[in-house]
Structure 1
Amino acid sequence: MKNRTAIFALTRKGTEIAHELAVALQADCHALDRYATKYDIPFESLKDTVADKFSRYEAHVFIAASGIAVRMIAPHLKSKDVDPAVVVVDQEGEFAVSLVSGHLGGANELARLVGDKIGAVPVITTATDCAGVPSVDLIARDQGLNIGDIGLIKHINAVILDGQKVPVYDPDGFLDISAISDYFYVVDDVDVLSESRCGVVVDWRRHEVGERVLTLYPQCLSLGVGCRRGVPANEILELIFRVVGESDLAPKSIFCMGSIDAKSDEEGLLEAAEILGLELKFFSAAELDKIEVANPSGMVMKHMGVNGVCEAAAMKLADSTEILIPKSKSARVTAAVARKI
């Protein structure tokens, strides 16, 4: 499935609009079988089709009544940070309603795009958009920051809607507030946030903060791992969790995991990366050997032809010449962390 958007049409007129949108949005058009053409994906039951397709697309456009769309998607909704965008268009093409995942899923943007393509009025109901003020979840998304507790977004946005400024602790300057300084201000002490109505921390280190302080995690840490043949995932994860925990690193700031390509078929390594939700990249011995590591190993050189795997892989991923957390090891696993500057 190459297209990321699905369109669902239930009437003849709705199918005509769906065809227009399918071309403009490069979307798959699902039409009720009696109205489907050779260019459509026909269906008999909208309920069954949505159940099968909902998680397979990043966005959905229903050419139907809002009530129908709500009933179709309700059983499949999970959370605003993972749900796909949902937009509803009436069969006359007059309105494009952003229904679900307006910010993080991009439904607000999609409603505007649909409106632009077919001349419909985009209907946006998220409070910050209606008030014309920034929303912290959109800010985080646009600046490549992972959101900690999604439930805390409402507290930050509420303060902004009340016309107050939100304090931000950002020691390394990952969040650019130059264009939103009317709504946010920087503080030098993280403890100030707990004394405020709410606040935002932007850091790759863990902090103990108040219950209304939202943490945003920059994607700047890379994890390098080496292991012996046949090591299970739980043994690899045990060392990783120890390294991350003892160093007070934020797991959500780790953007990738790497190793030497001789381990590309190592099941435990592959499984560990999948459990962590990290992309796993492999490098050749020649690539890793160009990197000067802090803790070279004669044993690794003997068996792999490089001075070190985990430190070199971490620095390679981060495009850095320095290691943040040097090699730690257990009986059969090594791990190190580098930081992208």
Structure 2
Amino acid sequence: MPATTAIYALTARGADLGRKISGLIRADSFVLQRYAAEEDIPFSSLSDLVADTFNSYEGHIFIAASGIVVRMIAPYLKSKVEDPAVVVLDQEGQFAVSLVSGHLGGANELARLIGDRIGATPVITTATDCAGVPSIDLLARKHGLIINDISLIKHINSALLDGEKVPVYDPGGFLDLEDAGDFFYRIESVGVLSTSRCGVVVDWRIHDLPERVIALYPRCLTLGVGCRRGVPADEILELIRAVLDKYRIAPESLCCMGSIDAKADEAGMLEAAVRLGLELKFFSATELDEIEVANPSGMVMKHMGVGGVCEAAAMKLANATEILIPKTKSARVTAALARVVSG
């Protein structure tokens, strides 16, 4: 498995430190050519190197002055959602500075990890960390939740920094607040949020929310799809989007897509999964026939040897015994949704 972290060293002492760290956390060690050893990846131009590597690694550790690093990475910064973690170390290994993407990118965590491994002092300046309060973006990342609008994070974190407890509507229990009870409290109705300074909604459903309420979407829904031979991706996606709109389901909550293996070579099916960003899994007729579907089809049984495709595939993927959104049909496509059952 390739390394997900890159280390950059510009001096002889920095190179020694980089090799030490790469041996502790499994990272690629890039070293200025004149100081590179056999195990290093030599480079002659840091700016050219960063242009090639910045979006290829999840984390970057620069053993260099912060000013140099800022100038090197500035052209490639996009947003706190997309940017990789960037940590800066001095060549003596005294300080590990979380520079970019402290929360979502994991730079704070990386700085702490380096500090733990080599005895450096992590330097973390994000307000919530300094105040000792949890940040909603870090909680979302920890629990695998998708943030609908990153710009709303500031309202939640601001309230926490002001010492206010933030209401959370989470009917599915996706957000573990056991260690954050001093900062959040659960509510039973999303309507309560209309009178709150801000709030958090964790759900696979789309709600009409006040402007300072952030929606977090759990990836907990499986999509089963069936289609006739030769159906294009646009036609498949049209039905899927219609189902999501009808039932007010967040596309971000879809975690995977499935169908019968007879459709494994369907170009439209394959393209639809790619465009949705979903892993696509195929099941045999025998596997799908094990699932009792709510809406069996004699026609599907005749042609595929199974009572139903989309509902059975969705339930099989979710390890579920019941369907969440039953089969919906267009002229040549069927779709259904199930909710993932843990365990």
TM-score (norm 1): 0.97
Q: Show the counterpart of 1:315.
A: 315
| Corresponding residue number in structure 2 for 1:326 | 326
Matching residue of 1:92: 92
**Aligned partner letter, 1:122:** P
Q: Which moved more, 1:156-165 or 1:1-10?
A: 1-10
**Aligned-partner SS, 1:206:** coil
Q: Secondary structure at the match of 1:93?
A: coil
Q: 1:108 Cα shift?
A: 0.7
| Alignment: residue pair count | 341
Counterpart in the other structure of 2:115: 115
Aligned to 1:200: 200
Asked if residue 144 in structure 1 is aligned to residue 147 in structure 2, the reply is no
* 1:280-339, Cα deviation, whole Å (9 max, x unpaired): 122122211111111112222222221111101100111101011111111211110011
Structure 2 residue aligned with 1:277: 277
Find the aligned partners of 2:75 and 2:234 in 1 and give their Cα distance.
Answer: 34
**Displacement of 1:277 after TM fit?**
1.4
The aligned counterpart of 2:298 is 298
Alignment of 1:61-80 (within 5 A): 61-80=61-80
**Which position in structure 2 is the counterpart of 1:41?**
41
1:87-117 C-alpha deviation (Å, 9 max, x unpaired): 0111121110001111111111110111122
Shift of 1:186: 1.4
Aligned pair 1:223/2:223, yes or no?
yes
- 1:187-228 C-alpha deviation (Å, 9 max, x unpaired): 222122122111111111110001110011122111111112
Q: CA separation in 2, counterparts of 1:69 and 1:29?
A: 16
Q: CA deviation at 1:66?
A: 0.8
- Identity %, equivalent residues: 71
Partner of 2:188: 188
Paired residue for 1:83? 83
- Listed one character per residue, the Cα deviations across residues 8-36 of structure 1 (whole Å, up to 9, x for unaligned) are 11111111110001110100111111111
| 1:338 paired to 2:324 | no
Mapped partners of 1:32, 1:257: distance in 2? 46
Counterpart CA distance in 2 for 1:96 and 1:207 is 41
Equivalent residues in 2 for 1:13-52, closer than 5 Å: 13-52=13-52
Residue in 2 that maps onto 1:244: 244
Give 1:86 deviation, angstroms: 0.7
Structure 1: segments with no counterpart, 5+ residues: none
Q: Runs in 1 of length 4+ with deviation above 6 angstroms?
A: none
Distance 2:8 2:275 in 1: 34
Say what the alpha-carbon RMSD is for the aligned residues.
1.3
Cα separation, 2, equivalents of 1:26 and 1:305: 50
- Work out the CA distance in 2 between the residues paired with 1:187 and 1:270: 41
TM-score (norm 2): 0.96
Q: Secondary structure at the match of 1:34?
A: helix
